[in-house]
Amino acid sequence: MRTIVWDVDDVLNDLMKLWFEKAWLSEHPECHLTYKSISENPPHKLLSVSLNDYLDSLDKFRFILSQGVIKMDPIPAVVEWFQIHGYKFRHIALTSVPIQFAPFSASWVLKHFGHWIRSFHFVPSRRANEKVFSYDSDKADYLKWWGKADLFIDDNPSNVEAVNKIGIHNILMPRPWNKNTMSISDTLNSIL
């Protein structure tokens, strides 16, 4: 049975879209960007702010999500794919998230995908004033050490390229900041 490694944010859910529409635009009504025009991730340059300011805003939003103030649903097409095809594979989650939000991310994954995803892993996403010991510099380092992945699914082209270099098949989840123009459903059906 093949093992699929799933990124969490912007693969299983719409974190960037939710953050942009619920937090950024409400705090910055002068912003004329749309979610579909976010052509790079992180989008701090498009937003004319520093990387730290963007990450601070995203982390504040993660905190609000973790408190249940705003509900974050999984992407319906992803849930549908799991309901039809999930039993055909083993699944793990591998995300890059600040260490303080990893418990929330793990809980969210198990709540929505625990029927299929039985294992949660993360590489801490670094923050300016936080010292965190790190075993791996990125997801590719983690997967190289782990050695059991057959397929990797992520929205970040650099993560996909790095994993490809270590010989793991991959799929780029379609998002405005990458070049996959297929639908999410068609992308997931390419796994089969």
User: Which class would CATH give 3-14+73-189?
Assistant: alpha beta
Residue with tokens 């997931």: 188
For residue 159, what pLDDT is reported? 98
- Mean of pLDDT values over 142-161: 98
DSSP letters along 108-174, please? HHHHHHTTTEEEEEEEEPP-TT-----S-SSHHHHHHHH---SEEEES-HHHHHHHHHTT-EEEEPP
The yes-or-no verdict on residue 3 having pLDDT over 90 is yes
- Per the model's pLDDT, the better-predicted residue between 162 and 129 turns out to be 162
Give me the chain's average pLDDT, please. Answer: 96
List, for residues 22-80, the tens digit of each pLDDT value: 999 999 999 999 999 999 999 999 999 999 999 999 999 999 999 999 999 999 999 99
Cα–Cα distance list, 63 to 19, 73, 98 (Å): 11, 16, 11
pLDDT of residue 128 exceeding 90, the answer is no
Domain spans in the chain, listed from the N-terminal domain onward: 3-14+73-189, 15-66
Q: What is the pLDDT of residue 112?
A: 98
The angle that helices 102-113 and 76-85 make with each other, rounded to 10 degrees, is 60
pLDDT attached to residue 42: 97
Backbone angles phi, psi at 23, to 5 degrees: -105, -60
Percent of the chain with pLDDT over 90: 94
